[in-house]
Amino acid sequence: MTGALSGMAFVLSSPSALPQASNAEDASGQQAFNNACRTCHIMREGDNRLGPNLHKVIGRKAGSLPEYAFSSAMKEAGFVWDEEKLDRFIANPEEVVPGNNMKPYGGLSSSEDRKKIIAFLAQAR
Ligand code: HEC
């Protein structure tokens, strides 16, 4: 194998160079998530950044990860995340959990992008 080819094989096998999604739709959901959420959230279980990890967030009780310091608003929200709650929260967090600490975040007005992101969150569970 030439040097150039083995260099390429390295790039292709490095995890960060490969999109995790398997088809185009997943990839665009991942892209939308990367643009809007990934500064603060990742999907890996137990790995909290500025925001809590979103591993299996659909079906998870709001504010319930023991190792993350949620606002009391989120801890006391008293519901389980589903697609509908997420859609409203991503559009306007304040409306769903008043006093929450997901900031600075301007809300995502494109319902198309919200749908893609929620599909991405759902398939990542
Ligand atoms: C500027 C950083 C930031 C961005 C950008 C951001 N978040 Fe958050 N997110 C947070 C923080 C901080 C919290 C914790 C809020 C609290 O405790 O009140 C949070 C909480 C959440 C929760 C509640 C999790 C739980 O366990 O109850 C969900 C769901 C969520 N974010 C989804 C998203 C999605 C989806 C996006 C992209 C559309 C996004 N966030 C963008 C910082 C951010």
Chain segment 91-110, per-residue pLDDT in tens: 999 999 999 999 999 999 99
Domain ranges of the chain: 20-123
Coil vs helix vs strand at 125: coil
Ligand 1 close to Cβ of residue 93 (< 6 A): no
Mean of pLDDT over the chain: 87
pLDDT at 90 over 50: yes
Single-letter residue type at 74: M
Q: What atom of ligand 1 comes closest to residue 108's alpha carbon?
A: 38
Return the CATH number of the domain spanning residue range 20-123.
Answer: 1.10.760.10
* 105 CA to centre of ligand 1 in angstroms: 9
Residue 63 — pLDDT band, cuts 50, 70, 90?
very high
- Quick one: how far is CA 39 from the chain centroid? 10
Express each pLDDT in 30-53 by its tens digit: 999 999 999 999 999 999 999 999
- Residues sharing a CB contact under 8 Å with residue 6, sequence separation 6 or more, in sequence order: none
DSSP 7-42: HHHHHHHSGGGS-S-SSHHHHHHHHHHHHHTTTT--
pLDDT at 58 over 50: yes
Q: What atom of ligand 1 comes closest to residue 113's alpha carbon?
A: 38
